[in-house]
Structure 1
Amino acid sequence: MTTTGLGSLPGDDIREWTKVLLEAVDIPFLAELPARPYGDMLSRAIAVLTELAADLQPAGWRLTGGSDPRASMDQRRARSLLAEDLDVLEELADGYTGPLKLQLTGPWTLAATVELPRGDKILADHGARRDLAEALALGLSDHVAEVRRRVPGADLVVQLDEPALPAVLAGAIPTASGWSKHRSVDGPGAVELLSLVTTTAPTVIHCCAARPPIEVFTKAGATGVAVDVSLLTEPGWEQIAIAVEAGTTLYAGLVPTTGALPNPEQAADPLIRRWRELGLDPELLKQVVITPACGLAASPSPSDAKARLDLLRRVVDAVGEGADA
């Protein structure tokens, strides 16, 4: 079993966090620090969208039309911040070999969040949301190539964050007027766009929901799924079991992001118990990646977030003991 985090962390010191992550977890990752201007998950995705121009409005990011030369000042600042973070990673990870994770907002969450030039969400326009997914795939490919150049010993893994996809599938995303909802997207349609963005590197899709659409993720080519174990309902666990038995890696969110820290055995128990109830092979449990329940940006301090990351390896030991019991 190995450990990693899910992207976001508190504070604004990318250098210090990069040092910590190269030591604290088995799969280090390029941190997102949303306390910084343009440091949130949406801004990072906008920075990668080199084929689409966007600007930042009071309501959030909005496409403006045109291509890179017409990028707004906000988009250029987001790109500059990403480049600075990569400079730090290149310096501190000099000589590093092993897995390294990059996080990016997935195409459906972007479509449900970013607006068209005329208003309303990209989700409202079939052609625009495909253009967005294609641009995201191209930008991600360039981003991965850049990181491979800077850290040549890294085996890259991509994490796509799709918190909004369950609402997209359920037809629960409000329209601009707020009086109605966007039409639901069916499973095959969701798979089609997601699959455009899963071919660059082994891809984990992260969704903290009671019943994350695991089947959509695996059909789209995800090699791993990241979930908050405390939220999963029975149908969610059934889909997890099918995916794990088919070879998908489970990134199990076991350490809470806020509140009192559990002891390792308390944190490990929900996973061990459900594994046994589902009749899953204990050997498969040893392949699980242990993570916090979600991103740690809401932690009250960097030291608190670090304590939660430090707990992960002790949870691994507890899960291992439970698997052998």
Structure 2
Amino acid sequence: MAAAGDMVISEFGDQLHLPHLPQRGLGSDAVGYSAALLESLSVDRGARSWQLSARPQRWSWFLKDLRERDIDVLEETWQHAGQEIKLQVMGPVSLASQIELADGHRVLSDRSALFDLADALAVGIANFRADMTRRFSATTVLQIDEPYLAQCVRGEIPGATDYHKIAPLDPDDFAALLARCSEGPVEYLNVSETDHDALHQVIADAVADNKQQASVSNSGGVGEIIIDQHQLTGTAKLDQLAELIDAGVRVGLACVPPDLIWDDQGENPRRLAVRIARLLDTLGIERLAGSRLIDICPQPGIPGKTILDCARTYRLSREVARMLAEDIGDL
């Protein structure tokens, strides 16, 4: 964690993010690391996945201790962290799809349990943000990752047995669950894809909720939606992306492959920048206006095997963003 924290502050300066290191093994995975935040709910390692337990078990303490130790290390490494720290947490829907109840059924299969988990996560996130603000004297921004949201909306999450089907997530529930997880705005929502009508409605509801609440209380809603460029195939998906940008919604485009190499001539980042500029042309969006609403992000997955590989991917992302900001008319 110390090496990862040093790399993050070297690459990003005063706009930091909490490193996640799933390659360390069980407990550092996205589900376990986020489950450590659940307040008043305990998790243990079951036969197939993480599982809610009636009282804290060995794994419950391990998860909380691991996260606490990581923050201690970052406090020593960063010292004066700067102005902003981004915190990434797996969202309530994806978390509920990967954690089981004591009877072996997924939390997602029980609507009441799903909302209870969201409430527990909300309290944990609030406490976590307060602790990070206290330790680092920095503003925190929140990224909710929902990698399994599409499958949940489509009803593709398998049940405990072949005879037990989990009903598709009601699109109206997602905005409510998202609102429960944040006392203020969710600055970043990572949904990976937008190619399903029901999922598109989920996103539209969340964005509309943001606009309505922002005009009243400046709380709730979503600031930016992160989408995996690999999913942008087909007219329907491209049309949905165009609708988001036309509506003035910021889009984080996860488009930098983890294996992209920084060549001496800088041709690889330029080729990627050209591809994004042409994507805007395909969408029928003016390049300069569109580029101001797009953030460049690494694609999902671990960028290489070492800290240096991660640093390279971050630099490539920044270089592509710079080209789009400065040279988009010439690409």
Q: Give the TM-score band, short-chain normalised.
A: 0.7 to 0.9
Q: How many residues align?
A: 306
Q: 1:254–1:268: 8 Å Cα contact kept in structure 2?
A: no
Q: What residue is the counterpart of 1:190 in the other structure?
A: 174
Correspondent of 2:114 among 116, 129, 146 = 129
Q: What residue is the counterpart of 2:12 in the other structure?
A: 25
Is the alpha carbon distance of 1:235 and 1:28 closer, same or farther for their aligned partners in structure 2, counting shifts above 3 Å? farther
Q: Note the 1:138-153 alignment, pairs <5 A.
A: 138-152=123-137
Deviations 1:59-83 (A, max 9, x none): 1111113xxxx31110111111111
Determine whether 1:291 maps to 2:297.
yes
249-258 or 278-287, which deviates more: 278-287
In 2, distance between residues paired with 1:258 and 1:266?
Answer: 15
TM-score where L is the length of structure 1: 0.86
Q: What residue is the counterpart of 1:257 in the other structure?
A: 258
In 2, distance between residues paired with 1:189 and 1:49?
Answer: 20
In 2, distance between residues paired with 1:157 and 1:240?
Answer: 24
Deviations 1:83-114 (A, max 9, x none): 11111222233223233211111000011110
Q: 2:249–2:293: 8 Å Cα contact kept in structure 1?
A: no
Q: Give, as a single letter, the amino acid of the residue that structure 1 aligns with 2:17.
A: F
Q: Secondary structure at the match of 1:268?
A: helix
Q: What residue is the counterpart of 1:218 in the other structure?
A: 207
TM-score where L is the length of structure 2: 0.85
In 1, distance between residues paired with 2:328 and 2:139?
Answer: 28
Cα displacement (A) at 1:129: 0.4
Determine whether 1:302 maps to 2:307.
yes
Deviations 1:110-129 (A, max 9, x none): 11110011111011111100
Q: Secondary structure at the match of 1:123?
A: helix
Unaligned runs of 5+ in 1: 1-13
Unaligned runs of 5+ in 2: 210-220
Q: Give, as a single letter, the amino acid of the residue that structure 1 aligns with 2:178.
A: L
Cα displacement (A) at 1:173: 0.9
Determine whether 1:174 maps to 2:175.
no
Q: Give, as a single letter, the amino acid of the residue that structure 1 aligns with 2:117.
A: L
Cα displacement (A) at 1:308: 1.3
Determine whether 1:15 maps to 2:15.
no
Q: What residue is the counterpart of 2:227 in the other structure?
A: 227
71-80 or 303-312, which deviates more: 303-312
Q: Note the 1:28-177 alignment, pairs <5 A.
A: 28-36=16-24, 37-65=26-54, 70-152=55-137, 154-177=138-161
In 1, distance between residues paired with 2:111 and 2:74?
Answer: 37
Q: Which has the higher helix share?
A: 2
Cα displacement (A) at 1:151: 1.2
Cα displacement (A) at 1:179: 4.0
Cα displacement (A) at 1:287: 4.2
Q: Give, as a single letter, the amino acid of the residue that structure 2 aligns with 1:306.
A: A
Percent identity, aligned pairs only, is: 27
Q: What residue is the counterpart of 1:11 in the other structure?
A: none
Give the superposed CA RMSD. Answer: 2.2
